[in-house]
Amino acid sequence: MRSTRLTWTPWTPWTLSLLTAAALTACGGGDSSPDTSAAPSAISLSVELDPAGGTEAGPSFHLAAAELDAPTDISAAAEPHRTQAAASVATKGLTLQALDDASQRRRALAASSGEAVPMATTTPVTTYTPAQIRAAYALPALSAPPAQLGAGQTIYIVNAKHNPNTAAELAAFNAKFGLPTCTTRTLAANAALPLAAAGTGCELVIAYSTTAGALTATAPGYDSGWATEIALDVQWAHATAPLARLVLIEAPDASVASLSNAVALANRMGPGVVSMSFGATEGSWTGSYDSAFSSSGMTYLAATGDNGAAVSWPSVSSKVVAVGGTTLTYSTAARSEAAWSGTGGGTSAYTALPAYQSGTVGGYARRAVADVAFNANPNSGQYVALISPGTTTVRWVSAGGTSLSTPQWAGLIAMANAVRVAGGKAVLGQPHAAIYQQIGAVPTAYAAAFKDIASGSNGSCTTCAAKTGYDTPTGWGTPNVTALLTSLGAATTATTATSTTTSTAPKLSTTSLSGVAGKPLNASIGYSAPGAKSLSISISGAAAGMGFSATSSGIALAWAKPATGTYNLSVTLKDNLGQASTGIVAVRITAQ
C-alpha cells in the first residue's frame, strides 16, 4: 500500500481553500478480492472553511467631486480651502479616473453646444491641512517630545489590492505639509517575524499577504478604489502620529477571509495598532473571525461604514474600536461638529452586548456601534495626494469617509501607547474599558477628553440622532487629543471582558455507512462546524484500502475493494476556536 497527500481547492460555494487532504489508496491487482494489506494508522486531515461564504468587504472612503489645486498656505492659522463641487457626482468610492470621466463628459457637452456648460448644482467643499486638523483637535505640536508623536510604535494598515505609488504619494504629502520624512522598504517573503522593534523615526514597510495570511513577494493586482483607500490611510495615519512606523499589509483580494488573515499576519509581526478602513454588512458569521482580533498587545480599529445607519464587520466586533464620522467646521477660534449623515452605526443583530457597554450605556440589547468618531464628511474633508499609475504628477483631492476617521484614531492610540511606554507602562491593548468606564463614565474626564457630539443624525431610526453622551452615530464623540492622551496614559489595562456571537463545537451528522463486499464504496461523512474558520480531522479504526479526503461539505470515503464486516471509525473534529468532539461512524459491509 502507498500513501499520498493532495492539496486542492474544491468547487463549493463557501470553501476558501483546502489546506491539507490525504488519500490512502489500496494496492493490488484487478481481481475482486478484498485488500488484505495492513490497516492504516490514524489519518489526519485539515480543511479551511469560510464562514462568511465568500463575502467581500469594500473600502469606506469618499472624495469630494472636485480636484483641488496644490495647497499653498499650509499653516494652522490659515483659513481652510473652500471651493464648489458637482453635487450630481456620487462621492462614495470616487476615484480620480471617475472624476476625470465626469469632467470629460461635461467638456464634451460644452463642445457640442458651443457654449460653456455650468455645473447644474454645486455643493460647498472645505478642505483642511494636517496643521489645521492638528490645531482643531488639539494634537501635540510637531516639536513635542517624540513619544507624543508615536515614536517607537507600529501602526498596521490593512487593505486589499495594491497601490504602486504609496511611497511616492506619502513623500509628496510630507514635502507639501512639512511632515517628517519616512524611509521605505518592502518586506521580504522570508522575513523573520515578529519584526524588530520600531525605531524613533518614521518608516513605511510594505508587506504583501497571501489569501492564507503568509508573506509573499508577489504584489496584489491594482484597483483604483483600494489604491485611493491605501493613500489616504497611510498619509493620515502618518499626519497624526508622524514618528510611528507604518506597516502597510496588502491582501490579494477583498474577501473577509483574506482580510482577516492579513490581520492575523499583523498579529505575527508584533505589538501595535491595526487600522481597518473597510467593511462588509454584518451577518451570523461575524463572530467567527474574532480570533483575528485577540492578540496580546494589539489594538484594532475599524470604520463603521458610509451607508448611514447600518452595522458592518469588522467594526461590529466587541474586540474592535468602531470609528464613526462627523462633519467638521473649524476656524482658528474653535471647532464645531455634527454627526455626518453618511456615517455608519447602529445596534448589531448578532453580536451580544459587551460588558464594557452594558454597565455604561443604556438602551441597547446588543453591541452598539460606534465607539468614537472623527471628521469624515468629504465636503469638510482633508487633503490627500494621489498619483495615477504610469505618471509622476501629484494631484490633490478632498477625502473623507469613516476611512479617514479610522487611521487618525489609530494614530492617536499609537501616540497613547508611546506615552505609556515612556512612563514605564504597558501598551493599551483593547482600550474599550478605558474609553467607556474610565473616561466616558466619569463626567470630568469625559468633558476634558472628548467633544460630545449632540447634533446631526445618520438616519431616521430611534437611535440615529446624535445626543448628549453616548450615541451610535458618533460613540462618545471626537477627541480632545492632549487631554485624551493624559487619560489614556493613566488608564489601567485590566483584561476587557467582551462578548461575541456564540458558536458550538463541530459534530458529525453521519453515524453509519453501508456497502457491498468487492464493490467500490464512495460515500460522504457529513459534519457541521458553525463559526469555525478551519477544522482538523483525525480518523482512527480505518480498514486497509480506505481512502479519505476532506472539504467544507464533508469527509469523502473511497474504498475500492471493501471487505465484509463492520468497521467503527472514530472521528475527532477540532476547530480553530479550540472546540472539539469525537463520534463513531459504523461502516457495514455485507457479502454479495
Task: Give the 3-state DSSP-derived string for 105-161, with helices as H, strands as E and coil as C.
Answer: HHHHHHHHHCCCCCCCCEEEEEEECHHHHHHHCCCCCCCCCHHHHCCCCEEEEEEEC
Domains of the chain: 2-49+502-590 (2.60.40.10), 68-86+131-490 (3.40.50.200)
Check pLDDT > 90 for residue 107.
no
Place of cell 504597558: 426
pLDDT tens for 356-404 read 999 899 899 999 999 999 999 999 999 999 999 999 999 999 999 999 9
pLDDT tens for 80-89 read 999 999 888 9
pLDDT of residue 179: 98
Cα 163 from chain centroid (whole Å): 17
Whether the CB-CB separation of 397 and 67 falls below 8 Å is answered with: yes
Query: Closest Cα partner for 576 from 21, 189, 43, 46?
Result: 46
Query: Closest Cα partner for 274 from 302, 237, 246, 300?
Result: 300
pLDDT band, residue 16 (cuts 50/70/90): very low
Query: Closest Cα partner for 467 from 318, 590, 362?
Result: 362
End-to-end CA distance of the chain: 25
C-alpha cell at 563: 471487505
pLDDT tens for 282-307 read 999 999 899 899 999 999 999 999 99
CA dist 209 to 16, 276, 280, 351, Å? Answer: 15, 15, 20, 28
pLDDT tens for 320-342 read 999 999 999 998 878 999 999 99
Check pLDDT > 60 for residue 7.
no
Check pLDDT > 80 for residue 49.
yes
Give the dihedral sign, CA 546/551/555/560. negative
Residues 356, 137: Cα–Cα separation, whole Å: 26
- What pTM value is reported for the model? 0.83
Percent of the chain exceeding pLDDT 70 equals 89
Residues 318, 184: Cα–Cα separation, whole Å: 34
Percent of the chain exceeding pLDDT 90 equals 79
